[in-house]
């Protein structure tokens, strides 16, 4: 394929993100051959049935053989093991990347397995839904979304540029960050909000004076959107919290302090403080809409809402 950015791309882990990468890359004509592998035999069989890749291999090492780009799309906890398996198969000039929402821990377990003749360029697409598996993917997932590319000490500028070009070809906007800054930013904009959602849904489920049928029946009053976030893949988010614990705990500490101040304002009837806070947060919502990260469409059922950021 004359206009392809990469001749062969290997995708390891074919869930929502991996399958969407394959579909988007095919749509854009970015690659010549797409190979895929998954640890789950049932997933491999389903990917063969769906037919959105050219090859489905039994192991990640087979998929990586001869690949110009290998993207690890597994849960964070499996990234090190996958890197150990594919590392010896990386050809000269090949790029190893990932899609994890934690970067410091992923770099520490993946980088040691990258041979000197290959390149490691971590990445994180800020896109997702609460659904998982190869059937959940779609080519438009990354359109207009951000993908963060992380430069590590000794990063090859050309390899970084190619990974950015790849994500832009998939429809995303790209930016670069250090691993440390990335993990702090996403602790507050992604990880702690997910933790809060998991917690409040769990609290509602455990309340003795409110039945679960009432929680479900009246969820449109605000609880509904928490349940959407709390339906995200449990394996992925377990690994996120365990691997970004320092940044999450730092942001969670700040959140608890601010929540305590809010509790105090309610207790003492400090309406001005509540009004000021709600005014500031409302402005943040307007900025998010203006920058195209969500829509102001009044569909309270959210049936046509765009995918939520991961």
Q: What is the CATH number of the domain that holds 244?
A: 1.10.3660.10
308 found inside a domain: no
- Residue 242: the pLDDT is 93
200 found inside a domain: yes
Q: Say how many domains are in the chain.
A: 2
Q: Are residues 161 and 59 in the same domain?
A: yes
301 found inside a domain: no
The Cα–Cα gap between 262 and 56 comes to 53
- Residue 305: the pLDDT is 44
Residue at which a domain ends, from 157, 177, 197: 177
Q: Are residues 86 and 104 in the same domain?
A: yes
Q: Are residues 133 and 193 in the same domain?
A: no
pTM: 0.85
DSSP state of 207: -
- Residue 232: the pLDDT is 83
The Cα–Cα gap between 34 and 75 comes to 20
Tokens 């930016």: give the residue.
175
The Cα–Cα gap between 9 and 130 comes to 26
- Residue 228: the pLDDT is 84
Q: Are residues 70 and 144 in the same domain?
A: yes
pLDDT under 70: residue ranges of the chain = 1-2, 221, 295, 297-310
- Residue 298: the pLDDT is 56
Q: Are residues 191 and 165 in the same domain?
A: no
- Domain ranges, residue 148: 6-177
- Residue 75: the pLDDT is 92
Nearest to 82 by CA among 67, 63, 68, 101: 63
- Residue 49: the pLDDT is 97
- Output helix, strand, coil percentages for the chain, rounded to the nearest 5: 55, 15, 30
- 3-state DSSP of 76-120: HHHHHHHHHHHHHHCCCCCEEEECCCCCHHHHHHHHHHCCCCCEE
In the three-class reduction of DSSP (H, G, I as helix; E, B as strand; rest coil), residue 289 is classed as helix
């Amino acid at each position: 394929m004359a206009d392809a950015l990469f001749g062969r791309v290997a995708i390891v882990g074919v869930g929502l993100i991996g399958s969407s990468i394959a579909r988007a890359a095919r749509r854009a004509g970015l690659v010549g051959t797409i190979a895929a592998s998954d640890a789950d035999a049932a997933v491999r069989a389903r990917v063969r049935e769906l037919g959105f890749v050219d090859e489905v291999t039994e192991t990640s090492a087979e998929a990586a053989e001869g690949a110009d780009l290998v993207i690890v799309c597994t849960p964070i906890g499996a990234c090190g093991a996958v890197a150990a398996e594919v590392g010896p198969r990386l050809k000269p000039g090949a790029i190893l990347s990932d899609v994890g929402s934690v970067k410091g821990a992923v770099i520490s377990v993946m980088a040691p397995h990258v041979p000197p003749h290959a390149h490691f360029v971590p990445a994180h697409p800020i896109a997702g839904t609460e659904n998982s598996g190869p059937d959940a993917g779609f080519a438009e997932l990354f359109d207009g979304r951000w993908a963060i590319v992380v430069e590590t000490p000794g990063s090859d500028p050309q390899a970084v540029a190619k990974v950015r070009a790849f994500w832009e070809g998939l429809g995303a906007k790209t930016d670069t960050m250090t691993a440390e800054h990335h993990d702090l930013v996403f602790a507050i904009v992604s990880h702690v909000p997910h933790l809060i959602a998991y917690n409040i849904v769990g609290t509602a489920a455990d309340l003795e004076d409110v039945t679960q049928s009432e929680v479900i029946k009246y969820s449109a009053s605000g609880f509904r959107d928490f349940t959407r976030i709390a339906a995200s893949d449990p394996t992925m988010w377990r690994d996120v919290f365990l691997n970004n614990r320092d940044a999450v705990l730092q942001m969670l500490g700040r959140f608890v302090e601010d929540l305590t101040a809010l509790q105090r304002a309610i207790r003492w009837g400090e309406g001005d403080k509540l009004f000021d806070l709600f005014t500031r947060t409302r402005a943040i919502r307007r900025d998010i809409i203006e920058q195209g990260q969500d829509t102001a469409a009044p569909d309270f059922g959210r049936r046509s809402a765009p995918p939520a950021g991961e």
